[in-house]
């Protein structure tokens, strides 16, 4: 029996050209990297060969495998491949997300090497946690089963708790980690209870089966809220959404974000802010598409429409809250945390648009899949830009901390003239976060707002949400500009330590590599990136 199992895993018996283990290659490589790092310390090799080289090389191999699979998969005509007997799914969407995440991991490891946050003794622990969390996020990107959903969320959260508390002996760091673990464990528990209700009600936990079961379950009955089964289903979905809201730091489950980001080191903050959020959004898209299908009955569609509008309202509240609360911040990491909350709000608008379009439009009407795919495409494009601008902002915060030993905004006074490369890079990241026209963030916002505008034709409330989103963009300008004002218009105190960050150093080059792509979306690059995002988004709808 064991040998049949092994055979099935190694070479797929279903006649697919891709075996399960082969598709799982990048994750396996990362896991092998973790084992290697721990073994290296056991044998004392880490004294001669710095651990970050193992981490970097294994991530690079995983990335190359991912590229190889992406190209190979694009050549074949396969839409989606389920592997590990339906637990995971591989399509262009998950392939693209995997590439993005592994590239991000390479950038994060490089940043930690430059800024030197884990010292030599702690490096194996730190990189194991980092890569372990990344494996969890990769699982989230390919989840096709409610169990994998929960496993992915937990596997990415649990190492994150430890990474937040990594600055040992610091009061703030230990407090941040405790707050994170308490909120996180609570949200995960509620999410699991929701999953158990959904799985029990539907009698299945596989995503493709959910829609079919929903249809048979409510075939003869009304699917209005008066039906107890529907109430149970909605309760389960709401509990599931609580877990997502925690991961995405959406109001009212955002309390942990500022504290955790301020207490953790800026490098960890950047990782949590970009990687963890994008994984959660990718998983949310998959979950939404599993539940909200064109085949859902009219009553159920009505309930989903209300749910989508509710998520839209919450997204608008989240964006507004994040932007308003960021005004009074004096600590850079805390400011970026509130900005992260605000950006979660913007991106959640795309999800709301997706649900509203999918539930509200007449199935089979012209461009039904196309219009839904455009919301996902906007989200993917925004995530791609967010990768650079938000990691850039956190990285520069870390690099400035290494020079001035401070993360308070007032200590940034006069940096514009002492460390021009850092200040200009920070300016580009912040203005891109606002969404000012020449920079990448503008195009990303445009794509998302276009999808929200489109969903307004289904329900006019979405236009109101769009208006709030637009207003928020204006609000956010002020607090980002305050940082720039401190850097350029205030004198550096004579007693302050002088900075020397030349452009031709590792840190200068790193900042350049991160911020230059923000300028790219001026011309053909927009078409290139959005083309890739579009194909990935369309692959989600092809099979339905």
Residues that bind other proteins (CB under 8 A): 146-147, 150-151, 154, 158, 161-162, 165, 168-172, 174-179, 181-182, 185-186, 188-190, 192-193, 195-197, 199-200, 203-205, 258-259, 262-263, 328-331, 334
Q: Which is nearer to other proteins, 195 or 415 (CB)?
A: 195
Residue 341 CA: distances (Å) to CA of 108, 184, 247, 323, 368? 21, 16, 11, 8, 31
Q: Which is nearer to other proteins, 203 or 367 (CB)?
A: 203
Helix H or strand E segment including 83:
strand 81-83
What is the closest distance, in whole angstroms, from the C-beta atom of residue 34 to other proteins in the complex?
14
SS3 265: coil
What is the closest distance, in whole angstroms, from the C-beta atom of residue 212 to other proteins in the complex?
13
Q: Is 28 exposed, middle or buried (0-12, 13-18, 19+ CB in 10 A)?
A: middle
Which has the closest alpha carbon to 304: 222, 373, 230?
A: 230
Q: Which is nearer to other proteins, 263 or 294 (CB)?
A: 263
252 cis-preceded (ω within 30 degrees of 0): yes
CA 251 to chain CA mean position, Å: 17
d(CA 398, CA 336): 12
DSSP string, 452-511: HHHHTTT-THHHHHHHHHHHHHHHHHHHHHHHHHHHHHSPPPTTSPP----SSSHHHHHH
What is the closest distance, in whole angstroms, from the C-beta atom of residue 331 to other proteins in the complex?
8
Q: Which is nearer to other proteins, 336 or 518 (CB)?
A: 336
What is the closest distance, in whole angstroms, from the C-beta atom of residue 252 to other proteins in the complex?
14
What is the closest distance, in whole angstroms, from the C-beta atom of residue 269 to other proteins in the complex?
13
DSSP string, 381-418: HHHHHHHHHHHHHHHHHHHHHHHHS--BGGGGTTHHHH
Q: Which is nearer to other proteins, 186 or 363 (CB)?
A: 186
Q: Which is nearer to other proteins, 192 or 372 (CB)?
A: 192
What is the closest distance, in whole angstroms, from the C-beta atom of residue 402 to other proteins in the complex?
22
H helices present in 203-331, as ranges: 207-217, 228-247, 256-263, 266-271, 277-291, 298-326
What is the closest distance, in whole angstroms, from the C-beta atom of residue 141 to other proteins in the complex?
19
Q: Which is nearer to other proteins, 148 or 372 (CB)?
A: 148
What is the closest distance, in whole angstroms, from the C-beta atom of residue 202 to other proteins in the complex?
8
d(CA 430, CA 117): 24
In contact, 246 and 237? CB cutoff 8 Å: no
Q: Which is nearer to other proteins, 174 or 306 (CB)?
A: 174
d(CA 477, CA 496): 28
């Amino acid at each position: 029996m064991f040998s049949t199992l092994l055979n099935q895993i190694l070479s797929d018996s279903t006649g697919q050209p891709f075996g399960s283990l082969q598709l799982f290659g990048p994750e396996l490589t990362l896991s092998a990297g973790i084992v290697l790092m721990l073994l290296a310390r056991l044998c004392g090799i880490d004294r001669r060969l710095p651990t970050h080289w193992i981490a970097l090389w294994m991530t690079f191999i995983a990335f190359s495998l991912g590229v190889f699979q992406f190209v190979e998969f694009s050549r074949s005509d396969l839409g989606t491949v389920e592997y590990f007997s339906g637990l995971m799914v591989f399509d262009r969407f998950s392939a693209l997300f995997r590439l993005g995440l592994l590239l991000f991991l390479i950038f994060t490891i490089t940043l930690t090497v430059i800024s030197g946050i884990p010292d030599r003794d702690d490096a194996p622990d730190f990189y194991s946690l980092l890569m372990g969390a990344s494996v969890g996020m990769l699982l989230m990107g390919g989840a096709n089963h409610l169990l994998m959903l929960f496993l992915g969320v937990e596997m990415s959260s649990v190492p994150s708790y430890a990474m937040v508390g990594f600055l040992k002996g610091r009061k703030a760091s230990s407090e941040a980690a405790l707050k994170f673990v308490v909120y996180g464990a609570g949200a995960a528990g509620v999410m699991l209870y929701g999953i158990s209700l959904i799985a029990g009600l539907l009698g299945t936990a596989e995503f493709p089966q959910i829609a079919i079961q929903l249809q048979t379950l409510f075939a003869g009955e009304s699917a209005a809220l008066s039906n107890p089964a529907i109430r149970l289903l909605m309760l389960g979905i709401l509990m599931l959404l609580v877990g997502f809201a925690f991961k995405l730091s959406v109001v009212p489950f955002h309390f942990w974000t500022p504290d955790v980001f301020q207490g953790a080191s800026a490098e960890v903050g950047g990782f949590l802010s970009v990687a963890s959020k994008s994984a959660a959004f990718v998983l949310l898209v998959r979950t939404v598409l599993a539940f909200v299908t064109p085949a859902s009955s009219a009553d159920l569609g009505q309930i989903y429409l209300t749910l989508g509008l509710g998520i839209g309202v919450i997204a608008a509240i989240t964006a507004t809250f994040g932007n308003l609360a960021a005004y009074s911040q004096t600590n850079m990491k805390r400011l970026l945390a509130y900005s992260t909350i605000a950006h979660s709000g913007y991106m959640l608008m795309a999800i709301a648009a997706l649900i509203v379009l999918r539930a509200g439009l007449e199935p089979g009407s012209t461009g039904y899949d196309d219009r839904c795919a455009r919301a996902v495409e906007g989200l993917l494009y925004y995530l791609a830009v967010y990768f650079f601008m938000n990691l850039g902002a956190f990285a520069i915060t870390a690099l400035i901390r290494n020079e001035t030993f401070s993360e308070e905004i007032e200590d940034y006074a006069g940096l514009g003239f002492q460390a021009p490369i850092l200040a200009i890079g920070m300016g580009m990241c912040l203005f891109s976060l606002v969404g000012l026209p020449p920079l990448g963030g503008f195009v990303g916002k445009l794509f998302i707002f276009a999808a929200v505008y489109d969903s307004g034709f289904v329900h006019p409330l979405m236009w109101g949400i769009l208006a709030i989103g637009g207003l928020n963009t204006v609000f956010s300008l002020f607090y980002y500009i305050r940082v720039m004002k401190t850097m350029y218009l205030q004198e550096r105190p004579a007693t302050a330590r002088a900075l020397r960050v030349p452009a031709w150093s590792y840190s200068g080059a790193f900042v350049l590599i991160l911020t230059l792509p923000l300028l790219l979306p001026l011309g053909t690059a927009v078409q290139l990136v959005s083309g890739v995002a579009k194909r990935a988004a369309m692959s989600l709808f092809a099979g339905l």
